[in-house]
Amino acid sequence: MGDLAAVFLIFVGCFFPLLLTAMSAVHNIPALYIDVGRNFGLSPFAFVSRVLYPAVAPQLVVGMRITLGIAWLVVVAAEMIAVNSGLGFLIVDARNAGNRYDLVVAGMVIIGAIGLLLDLGMRSFERVKSFRWSYSED
């Protein structure tokens, strides 16, 4: 089918979880934060950069981490059905080649290792100084 189909599958698989995470993050901003921003008479840009962004950043980063995991799953699935290369294609091709289960298992281990590395990368991204926060239910 081609790369366009794979890209579309990845987009559809990732867009809605991230959209719902962003909507939930904005919906869960305490009303006090919004009232304080309005009382200070912040411009729309200042309101977004000083009130909204810091309030939604923790949930957005968690949503990005979840979405990255979904993206990786969809990439492998798209390789299995829509392209002629990649780890997903390797697994399907090795299975169809006849008793090449060593390649199937090797592909599965590599997929898991790459997924683990992607998650570790997102965890380190969460620790970046601009994303450090403490959340308390006061």
Q: What is the pLDDT along the chain (138 residues), one digit of tens a residue?
A: 567 877 888 899 899 999 999 999 999 998 998 898 889 988 999 998 888 888 888 888 889 999 999 999 998 888 888 778 888 888 888 888 877 888 889 989 999 999 999 999 988 887 776 555 544 444
Q: In this predicted structure, what is the pLDDT of residue 14?
A: 92
Domain of residue 26, residue span:
3-131
CATH classification of the domain holding 78: 1.10.3720.10
- Asked whether residue 137 is assigned to any structural domain, the reply reads no
- Asked whether residue 89 is assigned to any structural domain, the reply reads yes
Q: In this predicted structure, what is the pLDDT of residue 131?
A: 59
CA-nearest of 100, 24, 17, 104 to 59 is 24
- Asked whether residue 136 is assigned to any structural domain, the reply reads no
- Asked whether residue 15 is assigned to any structural domain, the reply reads yes
- Asked whether residue 138 is assigned to any structural domain, the reply reads no
- Asked whether residue 45 is assigned to any structural domain, the reply reads yes
The model's pTM: 0.77
The pair of three-digit structure tokens given for residue 58, joined into one six-digit string: 């923790």
Task: Report the alpha-carbon distance of residue 20 to residue 34 in Å, rounded.
Answer: 20
Q: In this predicted structure, what is the pLDDT of residue 80?
A: 84
Q: In this predicted structure, what is the pLDDT of residue 138?
A: 41
Q: How many residues does the chain have?
A: 138
* Domains of the chain: total: 1
Give, in order, the Cα–Cα distances in Å from 3 to each of 22, 91, 107, 108, 132. 28, 18, 21, 22, 37
